[in-house]
Chains A and B, each alone.
Chain A
């Protein structure tokens, strides 16, 4: 049997980052990916000869290359990638829209949000500034039980609408729980979105993944595609090998699973349904992708990079009763980054919370009509915000919780994974750890930081090599 120092299950961003970190120090590493291409939730595909990014609205945690201790720059350093050579484009501006025409604008300069809060909620301006200080001074990485961000915000801000408006984008971009958010997670997301901000790579996500992949290979790392792990063999509290769907067995000293905690429990044979349910997220989404001619942009409200809107009152972040909730969502203009040249066509991407079970029960014949139905409903609502674009659509595509489940194996199509995170990355096996979404760092930068952190904590400083 072939044997490795480390086997990583999953070639998404957390797996690639972990792989680079290990290969960099000379370990023999293998990444096993079930799909035919890397990237996981953040990948790409081709339609009509055009490249589409599956999961990229914007990356979070923007920092200028000079800021050494910023998470983004640390990440690059840890991966031995040049941050200076990585060209980034910052967002234009983003807006949070709530009922009663309330809107809050923010950019990568935190002062803009502070001023906006003072404009819309003068009575809460001082309290908001104190909240920013609280966030800056809070270390979210200390192990702690769940603390309700809602309760803390209600106490600190004494303004429920403001609390909801702040929570909404942070929840949409990184909350696996319904209704409320862990305060530590709130702090992580607040820093990465409101204090650091949005950017995108100058190139496509394919360029970014290729950069990681080539770097990993140059360092001697191996990756295999179409290699789904089905189970692991165990011996005295340790994993000995992984078994692929083909029956092939591969051994290693250490294992890192980025396939999600429920999937990892299944590998271990610990698949008792109530346990799996405890770690299965309920939050999933549909994403609608439109291509429109760039010249109609002048007739639309198209100056934001991202609009986070909610028309539900009271506001609640949850799995909807219906198949999709179009009353709230995220509208992204992926071309609206500073210094990005816009071609003849541009994209509009719209994300709404969706109910996995409604989509799961559909037959093939019902699935596509259901997609069109909800796309129409979405266009009606989104059209009221940005202006009508329905007649001008050149091409459109969409994906549902079922698409996410099919391509990434995420249980329930839950992008943000388990509501209970495995912060320390440990499992019942002493040489098997989890990283990525279910360890607790979310988003593109978050997933990569998770891979790096778990490697640093568990796989480098061991004398067992």
Chain B
């Protein structure tokens, strides 16, 4: 997947997790958590959803890499290049 596709997947997963998530004016360099009012449990759901869809294991130590949309894309791009 390319950057754009990964970005869309993340946004899709977020909307899937939270029916009320408003992604219309999301700043891609700022923490998702604050902008979307996500808690750590919601965060776990993003990780689990990636695991389910792409068999991708993200170790807990790497969770901070998923803080913003930009950092998610940077972290996932090499890992999902063949997906």
Contacts and interface: CB of A to CB of B under 8 A. Distances in A.
Nearest to A69: B39
Interface residues of B, number: 18
B44 A77 contact: no
Interface stretch (B1-9, B45-53, B67-75): B45-53
Across the A-B interface, the 8 shortest Cβ-Cβ residue pairs: A26-B52, A25-B48, A25-B52, A68-B37, A460-B48, A461-B60, A82-B19, A456-B44
Contacts of B52: 25-26
A456 B52 CA distance: 15
Contact of A77 (B18, B48, B49, B59): B18
A78 interface: yes
A83 B19 CA distance: 9
A69 B41 contact: no
Interface in B1-31: 16-20
Contacts of B39: 69, 74
14 contacts: A25-B48, A25-B52, A26-B52, A68-B20, A68-B37, A69-B37, A74-B39, A77-B17, A77-B42, A78-B41, A80-B17, A460-B48, A461-B44, A461-B60
A25 B49 contact: yes
B18 to A, nearest CB: 6
Contacts of A74: 39, 41
A463 B57 CA distance: 8
Interface of A: 25-26, 66, 68-69, 74, 77-78, 80, 82-84, 456, 460-461, 463
Contacts of B42: 77
Interface of B: 16-20, 37, 39, 41-42, 44-45, 48-49, 51-52, 57, 59-60
Contacts of B49: 25
Contacts of A69: 37, 39
A78 B60 CA distance: 19
A461 B40 CA distance: 13
Contacts of B57: 463
B59 A463 contact: yes
B81 to A, nearest CB: 22
A79 to B, nearest CB: 11
A69 B42 CA distance: 11
Contacts of A26: 52
B48 A84 contact: no
B68 to A, nearest CB: 20
A78 to B, nearest CB: 6
A66 B37 CA distance: 12
Contacts of A461: 44, 60
Contacts of A68: 18, 20, 37
A206 to B, nearest CB: 25
A454 to B, nearest CB: 13
A84 B19 contact: yes
A25 B51 contact: yes
B55 to A, nearest CB: 10
A66 B60 CA distance: 30
Nearest to B36: A68
A187 B44 CA distance: 26
Given A26-B52, A461-B60, A78 B37 contact: no
Residue in B39, B41, B49, B57 with the greatest tally of chain A CB atoms within 10 Å: B41
A74 B43 CA distance: 12
Contacts of A78: 41, 45
A82 B41 CA distance: 17
